[in-house]
C-alpha cells in the first residue's frame, strides 16, 4: 500500500493518478479528506501531519509513503511509520537545503529538519529536491486576469522552473523502482529562466502582452504581507537578489528517472492557460 500525503496538492494528485493507473493500491491522505476527488477506487483518509492521533490509521498496512511534511511533528510521524512497517519514504523536499546557509533560512530550514529526521531514522529515504516550481507563476494569475501589471522586485532573477507533472513522474519512478531508493535527487526544469523570460513565455501562450511593474523590495513586501510573513518574504527576496542575472545550475535527473526530457515552462504555461483566463 502506498500512502500519499498532502492529497490536495498538484504533485500528490498526479502521483495518485499514476500509481492508480498502474494498478497499485493507493491511500490518499489529507487534513480535509472530504475535499479530495481521487480516482474511483482510491481510498482516502484523514491525515493531519501536525496531529499524531491521525497517524496510526493512515499508516496501517502501508509499506511506502510519499511525504510532504511540516517539521513540527515529523519525529512522531517517523516513529509511527516505523512501527507500522513502512519500508520506504520518498520525501518531497527542496533544493534550497543545498544552500550553505540553509539552516538559517526559514523555508530551507523547514525542509532540512524533515530530511534530517528521516535520515536519522531506520526508514529507507529518497530525497526529491525540486528547484523552483513552474506553478509559482500562478501567483501572477490575479493581476493578469485583472489586466494589471505583475509586480517584480527582481525581473532578472533566474530560476529552474520544473513542471509539477515531472515531479510526480519522478516520484512515481522512485516509489516503483527499487534502484532509485535512497537517492538524493535534485529536480529542475530544462532551462534557467528569469522572471521576465517566464512572463514573456506566458504572454506568448496567452496571446497578449503582460505588463510588469519593477517594484522595490519594500513595495513587494507591502503587497504580500497579508499572506507571506516577513521572514519568508525576506528569504525569497534575498534568493532572487543573489540570482539576479545569474543562471542557476540544471540537472538531467527528470530525464534519468522518467525517460523523457523535463517539460519546458512554455509547456507548463500552455497546460495551465485557464488559470490565467478563467474568472
Contacts (Cβ under 8 Å, ≥6 apart) of 117: 71, 74, 75, 78
Q: How high is the pLDDT of residue 116?
A: 96
Among 118, 35, 130, 125, which Cα is nearest to 88's?
A: 125
Is 95 a domain residue? yes
20/120 same-domain check:
yes
DSSP three-state, residue 86: coil
215/244 same-domain check:
yes
Domain assignment of residue 61, given as a range = 2-130
- Domain containing residue 205: CATH number: 3.40.50.720
The grid cell for 196 is 521576465
Point out the domain boundary residue: 130, 150, 179: 130
278/227 same-domain check:
yes
The grid cell for 90 is 520518498
Q: How high is the pLDDT of residue 104?
A: 87
Distance from the first to the final alpha carbon of the chain: 39
Q: How high is the pLDDT of residue 226?
A: 86
150/279 same-domain check:
yes
The parts of the chain modelled with pLDDT lower than 70 are 279
Point out the domain boundary residue: 130, 148, 170: 130
Distances (CA, A) of 241 to 97, 129, 216, 235: 18, 21, 11, 10
Q: How high is the pLDDT of residue 279?
A: 63
Point out the domain boundary residue: 130, 146, 179: 130
207/94 same-domain check:
no
Q: How high is the pLDDT of residue 215?
A: 95
Domain count for the chain: 2
Amino acid at each position: 500500500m502506498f500512502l500519499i500525503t498532502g492529497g490536495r496538492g498538484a504533485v500528490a494528485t498526479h502521483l495518485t493518478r499514476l500509481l492508480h493507473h498502474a494498478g497499485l493500491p493507493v491511500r490518499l491522505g489529507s487534513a480535509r479528506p472530504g475535499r479530495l476527488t481521487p480516482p474511483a477506487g482510491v481510498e482516502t483518509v484523514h491525515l493531519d501531519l501536525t496531529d499524531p492521533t491521525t497517524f496510526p490509521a493512515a499508516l496501517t498496512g502501508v509499506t511506502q509513503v510519499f511525504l510532504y511534511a511540516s517539521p513540527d511533528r515529523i519525529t512522531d510521524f517517523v516513529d509511527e511509520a516505523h512501527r507500522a512497517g513502512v519500508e520506504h519514504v520518498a520525501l518531497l523536499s527542496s533544493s534550497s537545503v543545498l544552500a550553505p546557509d540553509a539552516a538559517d533560512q526559514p523555508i530551507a530550514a523547514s525542509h532540512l529538519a524533515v530530511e534530517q529526521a528521516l535520515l536519522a531514522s531506520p526508514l529507507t529515504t529518497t530525497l526529491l529536491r525540486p528547484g523552483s516550481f513552474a506553478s509559482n507563476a500562478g501567483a501572477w494569475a490575479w493581476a493578469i486576469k485583472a489586466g494589471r501589471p505583475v509586480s517584480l522586485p527582481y525581473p532578472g532573477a533566474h530560476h529552474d522552473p520544473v513542471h509539477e507533472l515531472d515531479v510526480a513522474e519522478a516520484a512515481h519512478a522512485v516509489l516503483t523502482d527499487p534502484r532509485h531508493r535512497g537517492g538524493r535527487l535534485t529536480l529542475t526544469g530544462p532551462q534557467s529562466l528569469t522572471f521576465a523570460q517566464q512572463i514573456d513565455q506566458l504572454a506568448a501562450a496567452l496571446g497578449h502582452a503582460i505588463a510588469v511593474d519593477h517594484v522595490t523590495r519594500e513595495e513587494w513586501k507591502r503587497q504580500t504581507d497579508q499572506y507571506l510573513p516577513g521572514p519568508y518574504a525576506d528569504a525569497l527576496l534575498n534568493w532572487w537578489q543573489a540570482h539576479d542575472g545569474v543562471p542557476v545550475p540544471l540537472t538531467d535527473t527528470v530525464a534519468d528517472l522518467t525517460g523523457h526530457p523535463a517539460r519546458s515552462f512554455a509547456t507548463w504555461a500552455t497546460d495551465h492557460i485557464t488559470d490565467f483566463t478563467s474568472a
